[in-house]
């Protein structure tokens, strides 16, 4: 493909929701920030478009692409694919011939199928910083990209997968260019960790092998992390330029190395940095930390550990190759509570082939954790398959009809758990059980909501009394109270 010489590149982060219902926060589009950093450093004129905040993103994509050499799109499975296709169609409808290159988790997991779509010229697989720069260098010289490692493309009915690139040391990449975003401070959020919290990543990949997760498929279990000095330098920049006073680490897992976490936190303390922060952790890591490590983490501003427990069933944890035990989950809760640090867990129900006793084991661990920390501070999710792994194959064996095209993947929910073996009545039973834990072990969040009005206080007191009784006696039958209380809650919220 011959292109005129130019140095302009357009990078789009598509909308990640059809209807925003999960939380009120708006986060900086880290995938396109990471991809753009080497391009900016090399002198390219990069236009960053975040469709989550720009109401005119469709027209901007077309207008900016008129004199660009490349349109890059980063997306995950689901709504982002829908809007990515909208953008690519708009560019083609406008008669523009520049290459449309896709990257991110979904294209990296299914590169061949993605590249076969008429609106995809090439797929950048896995870590994209080096590959995208190589693509840009080739196109800016009017050359073809067919021989570049790390890409998959389809031409004349033939799909070509070039050799993969090794995962590079991210310390060699420039700082994420938040300042290049339109109105960067719109990404500051009022949260527990700070009134002006920003999202940030200090590492890429994850060494774990969990069979429900996309990370092993994209990074092949490699984990590359910034040095403590690099993290501290970035935090100071975020404070000085952005005015940030809180950080949500979007690392897949932050606490892989205890010494690194200690050094970062000690550096924050030594530099007098006033940051609140939270980060993802694996339960076995926390159970092995020294006591003074917890003290240093807390003193540096750590608000909460965010832990993917996923299941309380020993057999299910083994099936998904989580490499943890239920006791690890409980011990992490004990250690966090001992040192006055919050801990929040995510659990998943509805794995393919999961039995009722295994689900009951998960509920038992969720309740034990609530007793240890003094509140229900977990999140319940229903299993939603990630393509390309063993659990997805098992889901297909149990009746899942996997999407056969990019357009179909755009409608595939990775949140709602719409699966053949997961009926509405099954989901309702699990939601009922979670409702009783939420109010049986009320969290700080529940108490804050109760303080908003007298009606809410009455509601929370009533719901808590009923739910605590159910939890104490482990009785979950005849959930008439759940239906009634849920209706009352909806009426209060609307009022």
Same domain, 193 and 264: yes
In a domain, 81, yes or no: yes
Same domain, 198 and 146: no
Q: How confident is residue 451, by pLDDT bands cut at 50, 70 and 90?
A: confident
In this prediction, residues 35-44 reach a mean pLDDT of 98
Q: For the chain, give the mean pLDDT.
A: 93
CB atoms within 10 A of CB 417: 18
Q: For the domain that residue 63 is a member of, what is the CATH number?
A: 3.40.50.280
Residues in CB range of 218: below 8 A, 6 or more apart: 105, 108, 109, 126, 205
Give every strand in the sheet of 189-191, ordered side by side. 189-191, 194-200, 246-249, 276-281, 302-310, 342-349, 378-382
Residue 144 sits in the same domain as residue 218? no
Can you tell me the mean pLDDT for 43-62? 97
**Cβ atoms within 10 Å of 471's Cβ, excluding its own:** 20
pLDDT of residue 3: 41
In angstroms, rounded to a whole number, what is the distance separating the alpha carbons of residues 141 and 254? 40
Q: Residue 211's closest CA among 409, 396, 388? A: 388
Domain membership flag for residue 389: no
Do 474 and 336 fall within a single domain?
Answer: no
CATH number for position 298: 3.20.20.70
Whether 46 and 40 have beta carbons less than 8 Å apart is answered as yes
| pLDDT-derived band at 21, boundaries 50, 70, 90 | low
> Which pLDDT tens digit goes with each residue over 390-434?
888 899 999 988 889 999 999 887 777 678 898 989 999 999 999
Residue 460 falls inside a structural domain: yes
Contacts of 336 (CB under 8 A, 6+ apart): 286, 294, 305, 342, 343, 373
Residues 457 and 332 both lie in one domain: no
Does some domain include residue 416? no
Domain that holds residue 213: 183-383
Statement: residue 220 has pLDDT above 60: yes
Residue 23 has pLDDT above 70, yes or no: no
pLDDT at 4 over 90: no
pLDDT digits (tens, 9 = 90+) for 340-350: 999 999 999 99
CA contacts within 13 A on the Cβ side of 30: 16
Nearest CA to 120 among 167, 80, 73, 79?
73
The residue-averaged pLDDT of 475-486 equals 89
Q: Give pLDDT, residue 486.
A: 82
Q: Is the pLDDT of residue 2 over 50?
A: no
Q: Do both 196 and 337 map to the same domain?
A: yes
Q: Specify whether 341 is located in the same domain as 472.
A: no
Which of 358, 383, 408 is the last residue before a domain boundary?
Answer: 383
What's the total number of domains in the chain? Answer: 3
Residue 428 in any domain: the answer is no
319, part of any domain: yes
Q: Are residues 376 and 464 in the same domain?
A: no
SS3 106: helix
**Contact call for residues 48 and 36 (beta carbons, < 8 A):** yes
Can you point out the beta strands (E) in 315-376?
Answer: 342-349
* Residues 251-270, mean pLDDT to the nearest whole number: 97
- Residue 151 scores a pLDDT above 50: yes
Residue 224 in any domain: the answer is: yes
In a domain, 492, yes or no: yes
d(CA 84, CA 79): 9
Q: Is the dihedral of CA 224, 227, 232, 234 positive or negative?
A: negative
Q: For position 450, what pLDDT does the model report?
A: 79
Q: Is the pLDDT of residue 20 over 80?
A: no
If asked whether residues 63 and 113 sit together in one domain, one would say: yes
What pLDDT is attached to residue 5? Answer: 62
Residues 315 and 268 in one domain: yes
* Tens digits of residue pLDDT in 364-393: 999 999 999 999 999 999 998 888 888 888
pLDDT digits (tens, 9 = 90+) for 163-174: 999 999 999 999
Answer yes or no: do 270 and 214 share one domain.
yes
Answer yes or no: do 197 and 322 share one domain.
yes
Give the domain-ending residue among 368, 383, 398.
383
Give the mean model confidence (pLDDT) for residues 113-131.
97
């Amino acid at each position: 493909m011959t292109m005129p010489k130019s140095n302009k590149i357009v990078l789009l982060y598509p909308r990640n929701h059809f209807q925003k219902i999960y939380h009120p926060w708006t986060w900086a589009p880290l995938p396109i920030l990471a991809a753009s950093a080497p391009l900016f450093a090399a002198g390219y004129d990069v236009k960053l478009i975040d469709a989550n905040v720009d109401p005119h993103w469709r027209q901007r994509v077309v207008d900016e692409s008129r004199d660009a050499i490349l349109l890059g799109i980063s997306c995950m499975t689901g709504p982002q694919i829908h809007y990515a296709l909208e953008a690519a169609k708009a560019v083609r409808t406008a008669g523009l011939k520049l290459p449309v290159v896709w990257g991110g988790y979904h294209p990296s997991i299914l590169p061949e199928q993605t590249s076969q779509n008429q609106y995809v010229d090439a797929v950048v697989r896995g870590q994209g910083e080096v590959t995208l720069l190589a693509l840009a260098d080739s196109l800016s010289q009017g050359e073809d990209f067919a021989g570049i490692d790390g890409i998959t493309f389809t031409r004349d009915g033939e799909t070509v997968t070039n050799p993969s690139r090794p995962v590079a040391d991210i310390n060699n990449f420039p700082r994420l260019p938040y300042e290049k975003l339109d109105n960067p401070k719109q990404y500051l959020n009022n949260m527990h960790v700070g009134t002006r919290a920003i999202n940030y990543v200090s590492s890429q990949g994850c060494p774990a092998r969990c069979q429900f997760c996309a990370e092993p498929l994209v990074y092949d279990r490699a984990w590359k992390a910034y040095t403590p000095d690099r993290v501290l330098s970035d935090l100071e920049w975020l404070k000085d330029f952005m005015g940030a006073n809180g950080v949500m680490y979007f690392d897949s897992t932050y606490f892989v190395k205890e010494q690194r976490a200690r050094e970062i936190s000690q550096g924050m303390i030594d530099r007098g940095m006033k940051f609140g922060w939270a980060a993802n952790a694996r339960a076995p890591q926390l159970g092995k930390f020294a006591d003074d490590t917890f003290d240093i983490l807390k003193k540096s501003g750590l608000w909460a550990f965010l832990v993917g427990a996923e299941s309380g069933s020993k057999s299910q944890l083994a099936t998904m190759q989580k490499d943890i035990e239920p006791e690890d989950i409980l011990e992490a809760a004990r250690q966090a509570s001992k040192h006055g640090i919050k801990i929040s867990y995510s659990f998943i129900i509805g794995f393919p082939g999961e039995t009722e006793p295994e689900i009951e084991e998960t509920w038992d661990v969720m309740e034990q954790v609530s007793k240890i920390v003094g509140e229900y501070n977990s999140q319940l999710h229903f299993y939603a398959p990630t393509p390309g792994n063993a659990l997805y194959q098992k889901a297909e064996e149990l009746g899942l009809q996997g999407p056969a095209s990019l357009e179909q993947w755009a409608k595939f929910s990775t949140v709602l758990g719409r699966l053949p073996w997961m009926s509405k009545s099954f989901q309702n039973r699990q939601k009922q059980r979670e409702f009783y834990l939420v109010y049986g072990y009320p969290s700080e969040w529940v108490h804050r909501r109760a303080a908003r009005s007298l009606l809410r206080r009455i509601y929370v007191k009533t719901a808590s009394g009923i739910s605590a009784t159910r939890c104490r006696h482990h009785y979950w039958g005849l959930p008439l109270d759940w239906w009634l209380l849920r209706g009352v809650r909806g009426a209060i919220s609307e009022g």
